[in-house]
Amino acid sequence: MTTLSEPQHQQTAETDNRLRVVLMLEIQDGAQQRFLDVYEQLRHQVASVPGHVSDQLCQSINDPRQWLITSEWEDQETFLRWVDSPAHREMVKPMHGCVSDNFRSLRYAVLRQTSAAGSTGTRAPMEVPPGLPKADHGAPAGPPKADPGPDGVVRHALTFTVKPGSEPEVARILSNYASPEAVVDEETRLRRTSLFLHGNRVVRAVEVTGSLGDALRHVAMQPEVRAVEEEINPYLEEHRQLGDPQSARAFFAKAALPAKHQAIASAPASGRLHRHAVLYPVRPGLGQAVAELLATYDNLATADPTGPVAGSTVFQREDVVVRLADLRVPAEADPAAALGVAGEREATALAALLDLGPAGDLRSVAGLSAFLAARAMNPLTDRVSQES
């Protein structure tokens, strides 16, 4: 990067430290779909890297072989530390067979920005609440943008692990906290929060109408929530410092568990629904395939207005896959529906992606029941807002 002259350096001192990275690519003939498949997998991995803000994929309207990937990072040091790491080199290997050697990588410091309203100028730094990454325009932001489901509700989850042996105390803490205020603003409401525990892994699923980022910022700032987060800090496997914005952002970026698929039955549910979650023992590198197979089942299951599945969300990041389902019957009464298994063919396909152990079998009721008993997550809390 070119060294700045003194007057330019004084000008950039007024700005934040964001970095814009531009990668210009030429895709090999016949490799476009393979490139898109690889990018779809990589973008979720990159989004979980501490310091990553956003990225965008573009294709030339004049030459379909020419592509552009732009990304934004909180600062130059964070990006350089990641791009020079062995983890980055391993991550981008699948793309080598799609891209020609004729590519360029350019890096720019952000100096000025134009807002959606049209105003321009140098940004002033803004304080970011602990635990949340910076947004593109300087305001505190939540996780990457999440699309609402068929019912207009945005679903997201966070996951982290606690020290083995601390599970009973963690369960006690997370089962006894005051619910935060559900109303965020005129457009945003926190509708529901469900917490689950399996082994030493905690999953917190939230449902929001309106802005997910605004809702999570609102929750993170509530004193009752902050008190609970501080109370469980000593039991976490990965240490975090909520008072340090950089440490907190890194922790919650890793904790993000995005909703990869949402399915809601068209017919409104009548009577009580039974909510449960399953943590799948995914074989290394097959998390996305498991999520896609479960999504296929849920699309078919929720199309039946009299079927057992009233709604389902599949959360996935790398090889952590959790399916949260609302059933019209108790999970034990229909283990196939509770696990997302349609029949013997689907059971065989799912079993090939999971580590079931030598006695595992998803093709029989007994095998399904045993697997459900072993992998169902223990519900800790399920808070439904009166505002929803």
Domain ranges of the chain: 12-112, 154-384
DSSP classification of residue 27: B
Tokens representing 55? 């990225």
Identify the CATH class of 12-112: alpha beta
Query: What is the CATH number that goes with domain 154-384?
Result: 3.30.70.100
For residue 130, name the pLDDT band (cuts at 50, 70, 90): very low
Please give the span between the terminal C-alpha atoms of the chain, in angstroms, as a whole number. Answer: 51
How far, in Å, CA of 51 to CA of 9, rounded? 23
CA angle, residues 82, 83, 87, in degrees to nearest 5? 65
- Contact criterion met (CB below 8 Å) for 276 and 382: no
By CB atoms closer than 10 A (0-12, 13-18, 19+), residue 209 is: buried
DSSP classification of residue 377: P
pLDDT of 44 > 50? The answer is: yes
Closest CA to 311 of 298, 292, 295, 330: 298
Q: What is the 3-state secondary structure (H, E, C) of 93-155?
A: HHHCCCECCCCEEEEEECCCEECCCCCEECCCCCCCCCCCCECCCCCECCCCCCCCCCCCCEE
Which pLDDT does position 180 carry in this prediction? 75
For residue 128, name the pLDDT band (cuts at 50, 70, 90): very low
Q: What is the mean pLDDT of residues 335-349?
A: 91
Which pLDDT does position 6 carry in this prediction? 35
pLDDT of 380 > 70? The answer is: yes
pLDDT digits (tens, 9 = 90+) for 68-112: 999 998 888 888 888 888 888 888 888 877 888 667 888 888 877
Q: Residue 245 to residues 73, 110, 119, 206: CA-CA distances in angstroms?
A: 15, 21, 28, 22
Q: What is the mean pLDDT of residues 14-31?
A: 80
Q: What is the mean pLDDT of the chain?
A: 80
Q: What is the mean pLDDT of residues 208-237?
A: 81
Lay out the sheet containing 52-59: strands in order across. Answer: 52-59, 66-73, 19-26, 104-109
How far, in Å, CA of 232 to CA of 315, rounded? 23
12-112 and 154-384 in the same fold? yes
For residue 10, name the pLDDT band (cuts at 50, 70, 90): very low
- Residue 306 CA neighbour count, 13 Å, CB half: 0
Least confident of 116-130, 142-156, 245-259: 116-130
pLDDT of 188 > 60? The answer is: yes
For residue 242, name the pLDDT band (cuts at 50, 70, 90): low
Which pLDDT does position 127 carry in this prediction? 35
Name 125's Cβ contacts closer than 8 Å, sequence gap at least 6: 16, 138
Which pLDDT does position 38 carry in this prediction? 86
pLDDT digits (tens, 9 = 90+) for 276-307: 999 999 999 999 999 999 999 999 999 888 89
pLDDT of 388 > 70? The answer is: no
Beta bridge partners, 277, equal: 324
Which pLDDT does position 304 carry in this prediction? 87
